[in-house]
Every structure is written in C-alpha cells, then in structure tokens.
Copies of this chain bind each other. A is one copy, B any other.
Amino acid sequence: MESGEQATPTFSPSAELPALSEQELAVLRQVGRDWCAGLPDGRRGELPLDPALNRYQSPAPGRFSRIAQVDLFRAAAPNHLVAEEPESAGPSGERLLARVQRVVLGPPLKSAAVVQERLRKLVALPVLSSDLLSSVAYGPEAMLAVLVLAGTTALGLSLPIAAVLLVLMITVGTSYRQTIRAYPHGAGSYVVASANLGSRLGLAAGAGLMMDYVLTVSVSVAAGVDAVVSALPRLAPLTVPLGLLVIAVLLAGNLRGLRASGSLFAAPTYAFVAAMLLLIVVGLAQAGRRGFAPTAAPPVSATEGLSLLLVLRAFASGATSMTGIEAVSNAVPVFKPLEWRNARTTLTWMVSLLVVMFAGIVALTHLQGVIPRPDQTALSQLARKTFHSGPLYGCVQVSTALILLLAANTAYQGFPRLLFFMARDGYAPRTFLRMGDRLVFSNGILILSVATAVLFTTFRGHTQRLIPLYAVGVFLAFTLSQAGMVRHWLRVRGPHWRRSMAINAVGAGLSALVLVTAAVTKFAEGAWVVVLAVPSVILVALRIKHHYDAVHTALAAHTLPPSPGRPEREENQEAVERPDQVRHLSVVPVARLDLAAIRALAYAVSLGQPVFAVHVSPDEEEDDRFRKQWESWGDHLRLEIIVSPHRAIIPSLARYLEALRALRPDVTLTVIMPEVVVKHWWHRPLHGHDTRRLRRAMRTVPGIVVTAVPIHVAA
C-alpha cells in the first residue's frame, strides 16, 4: 500500500523536537572533537550531588528542603528519570487555576494514551458527519432564499438546481474515497495539495480550509440558534449570547479530548437522521395522498429579475450543503484499525445519507410550498406543516439544533490538525505542535474559538449573512485537493489508477466551477473577505517559513576552521562553540551595599572569573556616600562609579555595558545583579524591576548575559 511521499502525518508529542539531519550529526561530531581541547581534565563526575537523585549525599531534611519532591521522579534506567503525574505533588497544588482546569478538563493524559484515543465506525460517523449532515438544515434554505428574490415562480427552479447538486455530491464523495485509499494515514486537502502541487498551492488549500473551519463553526452555531429561536421566538434577542455560550461549551468539550466528544455527540446525530427520515417519509406520504400535487406557495413579489447570475448564486448557496464532506479523509487516523477501510465505509454511509436527506427535503419543500421567512427556518415550517406543533415537531427542532451545534465540533477536530501539519512544515508557529495535557492541540482549539466568536459577534449571528463567505474557502480546498490527486495518480500509477484519476479529475473540474461561481456571484455579498484572506494567510505562512529556515541555518552547529589565518580572538563571542574560547568578565551592578548586593558579589567572585562592581549614582553627593560604604566594606573589588546627571539609572548602565562590549567584543560580559524576591505578588509593585528592565535594555546587544541572583524575603 503506497503512502503519501513526504506526508506521513503522525501526531507525535515529540514533533516539537525534530531530529537532526545526517549532515548536522556529522558537523556535531566534528564540533565535539574540538571540545576535548576546551575541557579541563577529569571534570566529569565531580558533581557535588548525584543528578539521578539517588540520595547518597543527602543531608538531614532541613528548614528549606522539600524531600517530597524527590519522590516525583523514578529512575527508569541509569541517567534516566521518569516524571510522575504533576498533580500528585500535593502541597504544590496551591494554584487555584490548575485545580479548576483539572475539574473542567479532566486529569492530564500520558503520551502513551494517544493510541487508545480511536473511534469505532459507529462512533466516528456522528463525530465526523455532523458537519456534512447538518448542512441540510441551512443549505436548501440558502438556495431558496436567493431564488425567492425573483418571486414565487422562480422557486420551481430549485428542483433542477438540486439535481445538479446531487450529482456534485456523489462525484466529490467518490473523489474523496480515492484520497482515503491513497493516503491511508489521513490527509486533508492541505497535505494532498502540498505533496502533489507544491507548497504554495498546498498553502492555498490550507488557507481555504482554515476559512472553512471558522465558518463551519460560525454558520452551524448560527443555524442551531435559529432552530431554537424558530421554536421559542421569545429567545430571539438572546441570539448572540446563546451562540457565544455554545462556542464556550465546544471549547471546553474539545479541550477535554476526543473520546469524550465521540460519546457525547453520537446520540444527537442519530436522532437528527431519524427525525429527518421520518419527516421525509411522513411528508411524502401526505403528499402522496394528495397525488403529489404541490401546494401553492404564498405569492412573493420579485425584487430582482430572474437571470443566469441569480441561478448561479442560488446554486453556490445550495452547495454549502456539501460542506464537511472532506472531514473523513482529514481524520483517517482517528478510526480504529484498519483505518483507511473503516474511513471509506463511513464516508460512503455519510454521502448516501446526505443525498437522501437533501433530495427529500428539497422535494418536500417544493411539495409543501414553503418559502424562506425571517422569523422561522424552512425546516421548522416543513416540520410544523407535517407534524403540526406536536411532540414530533419538537423532536425535529431539538435534534436539528443539537446536530448543528455539534456540527461545529467537526471543525474542532480538523482545524488544530491542519495547524499541526502546517507547523510541522514550518508554515505556522511551532506552538501548534504542542499537545495539551489531554492529548489535544489546545492552542489550535483556542484560536478557532476566538476567531469564531469574533466572526459570530460581528455578524450578530445571522446565518444567511454568513453563507456568502462560506462556499469559497471550502471549494478552493476541494478543487486543490482533487487536482492534487490527479497529479498523484499520474505519478504513482497504482492499480486502477486511470479510473481513480478520472474520478478525481471530474471532481476537481466540478469543484472549480463551483469555486469560481461562488467567488464571482457572491463577491460583493461578503466573499471578498475570503478572497482577500486566503492570499494573506499564504503570505504570512511563507514569511513564517522563511523565518524558521533562517533561524535554523543560523543555529546550525558549525565547525570553526583551525587556527592559522584566523585571529585568536573570536570577534562574535556568540558564535564561540568551545569552552576554552569563552573569555569572561563579570560585572556586578550595586545600588546599595545590603545583603542582596553582598550575596551577588560573593556569587560573582566565587565563579572564579574576572569581576568588577559598578554603581550608578544620580548625583555627586550620593556618589561620595556610596564610595564610603564601599571602603567601609573593605574595597575588595574594583569599583567603577557612573554618575548619571539625568537620573536614568538603568539606561546609563545599559549604555555603559554597550560601551564595554564595543571595546572588547571578544569578551562575554556577564551582568550579575541581586534581585529581591518577595513572597506575595501584591508586594511586587513596592520594589523596582531593575533586572527585568536591564534585561529588556540589553536584549538587542549580543554577547551579554544577564544573571539575577535571587534573594527571597519572607516579608
């Protein structure tokens, strides 16, 4: 079974620490050989304690020792400790925030648990299909909402448009089945497009998907709140707070982790499917009793003429019913083994359900003469006409609301994974590689929630105003993904490659048609946001990649050419790799000769490197006073006094250090400052932050190390 070339997506917790290349290892070996010269003999092993925490030198527990901490590690092998679960520390659990987090999100999971977090098909179906299936709650209505602009009579066009959409659904679904077979480790549009069409088109697909995920959450939450408000009109003014509440619940649920989501979300999806099928069957039976004669829709006057543009807009709006079809191929690894086979089966089930439900609802809407209304969704009207306002109507609305609110959850699976892949390739900040305590990519989940909350609030939760933004990103990803598959088959040529390629080519062509239609016909209505955002995301991603590459090159270990022709002093002290090349000079800034300062001086002197003290005085008078203190103490070290007539203590010190460094760039300056640490945070404003300020001032100057020697005051 072939697998994607560079693309073997594994969610390893060590993705943050990528391996060194063979070449890098070779350089490392060379660097290491030079080190021998720089090492004092017999340095190894002369430690005052055993770093493996065997207490062979342990003194009696004293006032300041906390022996309990030692037990948090167990020795698994020589020089090899394993940390125990953090929270078992007990007394250090003073932090309220950590406790609250534990209650809301559950205890941390070990990395080893990552394999167990897999889903059976019947659990994966609701988790991954809620996005796709729930689309029938707003897709058909979005199509009708455009058609009705040309008056009641134009609604009849919904049937042929729906027929085209059904063809599209089946084609794209079949097309994605090919992707799952080709990328059994799971690969979304980003991975497929990157691997086959190059990184730029891959990023375009990724950017499209990002928009898709954010809009999936926004539209699903908006439509879900609509379903609730249709049944309970009194809640209408609370649309925005309700939506934000739902986003918060999704955030917490997903931070808890995948398994919990699966079990939580299974029932509503199945309930929705059952409700829809029942609605369609009962509705068709009722219509059958009338001989399938359509009820006349209430007359609506046209505000626009019936044009090809309008039909295409209606088609693009209706195409939002397909959003979420890519979820399975993105998330193959969450299936139980054999992953790819289970994923394909699930995808087929999903698409079949979609086709039945979409066709049924469009047909029923036509037969019942339902038109879009601002106060009630089309589905709610349909259910009222079919079941009247009985308990069955309630079931439809409740299950619709639940599946829509849960549909947003699909994006919570896909979005962080997408960012993981992009970060692994260097196109997104590395922080998205980090797995949280619960083995989910918490940072991606947080970003998605924030973006969605902003979008939802901006659009005041109006579904039909969000729809125009939706289709562009989705179909951009679809198009690039299928086109990538065409390239894939051309290169790989596995069994039946011609048939697979043909399927993918048709899928790509149809998707591209929808993409162009959506971008052109809805540009003014909001699609321009996406049309602008996609290139911006690509640009930022490329800049990020450029930065990471530059940093990687700069940090690669390099071998210095041997001595001849090279000055003995290495000018850029930061490039020095060997201990014998480091030249030290320690500077101890002293403001007042108290215990903190004396401790810092003792620390500096005891390092055994050249050291002198410096005092910055705001005026001459204080200067004399300090010099007397220094002489009382014994004048043990060279003292330099800087008078700063402008009372700028830290800036003067910073400029002095820069001047020292300019004199001798081959010397590493270590600034050793005393730092008073108080017990309570509310005492911190009572003390200066000289260390922090100096560190900030010295940030841009190379070759300067700022060391704070803390002294803890219980007061």
Contact = CB atoms under 8 A, between A and B. Distances in A.
Contact of A38 (B52, B62, B435, B606): B606
Given A72-B655, A713-B550, A49 B633 contact: no
B111 A710 contact: no
A160 interface: no
A63 B571 contact: yes
A31 B598 contact: yes
Contact of A661 (B65, B544, B664): B65
Given A574-B712, A576-B602, A548 B634 contact: no
Nearest to A617: B14
Nearest to A47: B610
Contact of A619 (B13, B19, B608, B700): B13
Interface in A64-90: 64-70, 72-73, 76, 79-83, 85-86, 89
Contacts of A640: 51-52, 79-81
Given A643-B76, A688-B430, A594 B556 contact: yes
Interface string A655-690: 110111111111110100000111100010111100
Contacts of A108: 646, 648
A156 interface: no
Contact of A40 (B80, B608, B618, B710): B608
Contacts of A601: 579
A585 B44 CA distance: 12
Contacts of A580: 606
Contacts of A706: 708
Given A20-B629, A67-B662, A69-B659, A667 B49 contact: yes
Interface residues of A, number: 180
A55 B602 CA distance: 28
Interface string A422-434: 0000000111001
A82 B652 CA distance: 9
Interface in A1-58: 12-14, 16-20, 25, 28-29, 31-33, 35-36, 38-40, 43-53, 55, 57-58
26 contacts: A14-B619, A18-B592, A20-B592, A20-B593, A25-B629, A28-B629, A35-B602, A39-B636, A43-B605, A47-B585, A51-B587, A52-B640, A53-B660, A58-B663, A63-B572, A70-B663, A72-B659, A86-B652, A89-B655, A110-B646, A547-B686, A558-B595, A579-B606, A608-B609, A670-B707, A705-B707
